Each structure stands twice: as C-alpha cells, then as structure tokens.
Amino acid sequence: MRGLVDGVSRIAVLRANALGDYLMAVPALEALKRAYPGAHLTLLGAAWHADFLGGRPGPVDEVVPLPPISGISTREIGHRAPEGLCARLRGREFDLAVQIHGGGRFSNPFIRALEARVSVGSRAPGAESLDRWVPYTDYHHETLRFLQVTALVGAVGGGLEPRIAVTAGDRAELARALGRPPSGLVAVHPGANDPRRRWPVERFAAVADLTGRPVVVTGTRAEKDLVMGVVEAMRNPAIPVVGALGIGGLAALYERCDLLIANDTGPRHLAGAVGTPTVAVYWCGNLIQAGPLSRATHRPLVSWTTACPRCGADGVAPGAERCPHDESWVGDVSVDMVMEQAEDLILYRSF
C-alpha cells in the first residue's frame, strides 16, 4: 500500500551520520514536510545535528541525538542501545517512522522498536521488513533512494538538490573568525574522510593559483596537513582556515565564495546547499551514489579507476572487500580538466 497516511502528527526520521549524508537527505525531509505540513518532524540523529539545526529554518523541527549504537550512530562494534531508549522514543507515539539509514540490517529493527503506526524505509536482502519498503540496491544515488522511500507515504515532488538557510548567527561566527572575506573569493577543500577520495594537494594548489582569485583553503583540525600542503605549494598567498569555524560558520564562508573546488566530501554538499558553484573530483562509484544531480552550477570530474593502484584489488564489484591501501583512486583527473570547469563556472557566476 502506498499513499498518504491519515492522521499523521508526529514523524520520526532516522539519519544519524555525517554532514554530506544529512544534506543528501534534505530533499526527502522537505518532501515529508510538504506532504504532512502540520506534523512535527523529529530527526533521530547525532549531536552535531542538534548543534547545526537548532533554530535553523528547514524541515526538521527537533533533533534527538542518539548515543553510540552499532550500525545506527557509530560504525564501531559493541555498542548496544541504552536500556530504556526505545521505550522513551515509543512514548512519543510517532505516527510515522522513516528509515533512510542504509539497507536495514541494524536500522530496520531499531525503527520497528519505535512501534509507530506506519514504518517505512529501504530493505536489503536478509534485512527485517518494514510496513512499506523499497529494495536497497548498490549504485543508486542516495537522494533518489530517499525520495523513493518518502514516496511510499505520499511525499513526492520538490527539488533534487538540498538547500540550507544561512543565518545571522552563521555570518556573525564568520565575522568573528575571519573578519570580512575579500570579494571574488575561491575556496579549496582538499580533505576527505577516505584517503582514496583525495586529489593530490599539489594539484589543488596549481588550480588555485590558476584562478587568479583570492583563495581560502578549508579543513578540519585533522586535515591541517592537507590544508597547509596546499597553501605551501601555492605561488600566491592563500588563507588557511583549519578548524576555526563550525558548520554554520563554514556555510557562511562558502556563501561568500564564487566557487568551491573540492573532493567528494561533506563541505562540497554544504557549499552547493548555500548556492555556491562547485567543481569536485569524484571516484566513479562515489559519483553514482553521492554526486550532484544537476550540472548548471556543479561540475564533477570523474576518475574511472576501478582497481587499487597498488595491488589491483577490485573496487567496483558489489560487496568487494576493501584492500588495506590508501593510495588516491582519483589521480587520473588532471589539473587542466578541473581548471576548464572552474573557469566555466567563474564565467557563469559573473553573468
């Protein structure tokens, strides 16, 4: 059965992971809010969701930060849901519980434990069933997968790319940290959680120099070496921003930029969500699942490497085990390829 569910006043959505993962879910969250405009939407997420989304306009009314639970809010094994957590969540009497958090091995039993009137989500082979579900398959874009889930309860339509509101507090945070950034700014983000998704820092530096623009290089504290590697390899001066801004302040910084040049990472999604054009280097498999869905202001450059550059281990077969090597899988993307798209978007931005 599909279509709208009658009498929905409380919705729970499970999505308890990182920045890019959340942003890819925003179109589905907005679809739910349009379909059930009077319902209170609770995101079962992480602590950073509560910090970032609190008081921010958008589809989420409330965040319940989950403690570490294996397969739900952490990848570490051995973390069970604290005693009483599901009982407290059941006490909220959710009408609709939505699972957009993987294939369901761990997340579907968690959703069913909430005892909502209707549960909905995706289901991989062998996972527990929900009241309404779609098959979880490999090489499917996450945003489209989530919209297929919400369509099961009549939540359809709207945009495909996420949008995030930048608040006065975000802009104030940016001003405190950096003052007033120069006009015509280009941002570079050389980090990514998975080292295999990182384009070489010297190529980021070369592209940054070729733009002829003032440049800011962003990264977390853990990415300081990557940020400083770009800055030190550049011929022209650049502004390093390492761990100086929260997510809101970073959104305000990207809002001031004419372009972001990045790897496949959460900040690429964030820049796009505040309306900034992006050029990003993607491994082919990641592009299918997490790349931008429009091309007017977002240009992915694709590496077609399909095996580990060191040992030749297969990287595209579904279920293939990860080899232990961390070499970049995106080295076949050239400076000229990235620069061509960067110039085109800078020109587009000037009109």
Same domain, 76 and 196: no
In percent, how much of the chain has pLDDT > 70? 99
Do 18 and 84 lie in a common domain?
Answer: yes
Do the domain assignments include residue 1?
A: no
Dist. CA 146–CA 43, nearest whole Å: 14
Residues 274 and 326 in one domain: yes
CA distance 295 to 284: 16
The CA–CA distances, whole Å, from 103 to 71, 106, 108, 138, 229 equal: 11, 8, 8, 10, 38
Report yes or no: 113 and 1 within 8 Å, Cβ to Cβ.
Answer: no
Q: What is the pLDDT of residues 53-74, one digit of tens each?
A: 999 999 999 999 999 999 999 9
Looking up tokens 């000229």 gives 336
Is 263 in contact with 17 (CB distance < 8 Å)?
A: no
Q: Are residues 85 and 204 in the same domain?
A: no
When computed from its CA atoms, the radius of gyration of the chain, rounded to whole angstroms, is 21
Contact 28, 155 (CB under 8 A): yes
- 1 pLDDT band (50/70/90 cuts)? low
What CA dihedral angle connects 134, 108, 74 and 284, to 10 degrees? -10
Has residue 17 got a pLDDT over 60?
yes
pTM: 0.95
Distance of CA 334 to the CA centre of its chain: 25
pLDDT of residue 320: 86
Measured CA to CA, the distance from residue 266 to residue 240 in angstroms comes to 18
User: Does residue 157 belong to any structural domain of this protein?
Assistant: no
User: What's the rounded Cα separation, in Å, for the pair 294 and 121?
Assistant: 25
Q: What domain range includes position 331?
A: 172-350
Q: Are residues 67 and 107 in the same domain?
A: yes
Residue pointed to by tokens 């495909």: 160
Average pLDDT over all residues of the chain: 96
Within this chain, do residues 264 and 141 fall inside the same structural domain, yes or no?
A: no
Q: How many domains does the chain have?
A: 2
How long is the chain? 351
Predicted confidence (pLDDT) per residue in 117-176, tens digit: 999 999 999 999 999 999 999 999 999 999 999 999 999 988 999 999 999 999 999 999
Same domain, 238 and 320: yes
Pair 134, 178 in one domain: no
Q: How confident is the model at residue 178 (pLDDT cuts 50, 70, 90)?
A: very high
> Which pLDDT tens digit goes with each residue over 259-306?
999 999 999 999 999 999 999 999 999 999 999 999 999 999 999 999
Same domain? 209 vs 139: no
Residue 161 lies in a domain: no
Decide if pLDDT at 349 tops 80: no
pLDDT tens-digit map of 34-56:
999 999 999 999 999 999 999 99
Q: State yes or no: pLDDT of 2 exceeds 90.
A: no
Residue 165 counted as domain residue: no
pLDDT of residue 144: 97
Residues 177 and 294 in one domain: yes
Position 296: which residue type? A
The pair of three-digit structure tokens given for residue 279, joined into one six-digit string:
């050029």
Query: What is the percent of the chain with per-residue pLDDT over 90, rounded to a whole number?
Result: 96
Query: What is the average pLDDT across 5-23?
Result: 97
Residue 89 pLDDT exceeds 90? yes
Q: What is the CATH number of the domain that holds 245?
A: 3.40.50.2000
Residue 263 to residues 205, 249, 302, 329, Cα–Cα distance (Å) = 13, 20, 11, 12
